[in-house]
Amino acid sequence: MYFNDDLFGARGFDLVAAAYDRSRPAYPKFLFEGIESEAALEIGSGSGQATADLLRISGHVDCLEPGANFCRLLEAKFALHDNFKVHNVKFEEFSPSVKYDLIFAASALHWVEKRLAYLKISECLKSGGKLIAVWNQPRFSDAVYAVINDSIGQLVPDFYIPRCGREEVSLFENGFREFAELGTFESCEMKISTSEREGDASVLLNLIWSYVNVEEVSEPQSLLSELKDNLAKLQASDYRIVDNYLISTGIAV
């Protein structure tokens, strides 16, 4: 489990929603296997990286997404589905009308204050319902990290893309132990899954840009152009992306 001390950066993703949609990966299919849900709640749907799979296994999906640009993408992408609704609201401000048998949070739960997140989950999740919280953390080649440092690091010194290194895994494991000891969940499980995908300069550009808070950059288009030019100089092998998924699950008592 992950929770941030600084919650300010969450709103920045909506400003790069198009890049996010072009580059962020779907979530592992095994997460959805064997689940038949009557009503699912998705926390922080983004542009629908997990939504299609949730619609497949659930009778109804309520998608919570505070970003207006993301909401428009979701509504357009899943317009033909009649078993979902997009709520332009933060999880902590959502007022559920039903109890859910599945709550799914993909790279989102850490943007909610920890104590409030667990209280709200208890409010929304049925006894016997399942919580799936998963985080995607990509890893790149050394050459890509050098480009990120040269292009972005000079302007945004604290720019950081979690890469599932020793520090991130340790934080995740500590958070999972705390989650498992809450007493409000049973059959808690933790897993780290890894897959690879072949990208190109465009995918890599959009993926990196999807982590940039453009409000912190004085000339974002100039930075984007520089990043694009520098990525285009890399070898084809540098465009390979390793997607790490840090997964926590539990059943509400």
- pLDDT, tens digit (0-9, with 9 covering 90-100), for 128-183: 999 999 999 999 999 999 999 999 998 888 899 999 999 999 999 999 999 999 99
Quick one: pLDDT band at residue 108, thresholds 50, 70, 90? very high
For residues 31 and 95, is the Cβ–Cβ distance under 8 A? no
Tell me how crowded residue 228 is: count the other CB atoms within 10 A of its CB: 17
Mean pLDDT of 231-252: 98
Crossing angle between the packed helical segments 201-209 and 220-232, to the nearest 10 degrees:
150
Mean pLDDT of 40-61: 98
d(CA 196, CA 213): 26
pLDDT computed for residue 244 by the predictor: 99
For residues 61 and 100, is the Cβ–Cβ distance under 8 A? no
**Of 115, 109, 69, residue with least CA distance to 91:** 109
Q: Please state, rounded to an integer, the average pLDDT across all residues of the chain.
A: 96
Residue 24's φ and ψ, nearest 5 degrees, are -70, 140
pLDDT computed for residue 251 by the predictor: 99
Mean pLDDT of 80-87: 96
What's the angle, vertex CA 248, arms to CA 182 and CA 114, rounded to 5?
A: 50
Quick one: pLDDT band at residue 72, thresholds 50, 70, 90? very high
Task: Give the residue carrying structure tokens 């989950």.
Answer: 121
What are the C-alpha distances in Å from 246 to residues 18, 101, 193?
Answer: 24, 22, 7
Q: Which fold has domain 8-139+162-196+243-252?
A: Rossmann fold (3.40.50)
pLDDT computed for residue 10 by the predictor: 82
> Taking 80 as the threshold, does the pLDDT of residue 7 lie above it?
no
pLDDT computed for residue 73 by the predictor: 98
Residue 48's φ and ψ, nearest 5 degrees, are 100, 30
> Taking 80 as the threshold, does the pLDDT of residue 90 lie above it?
yes
For residues 22 and 206, is the Cβ–Cβ distance under 8 A? yes
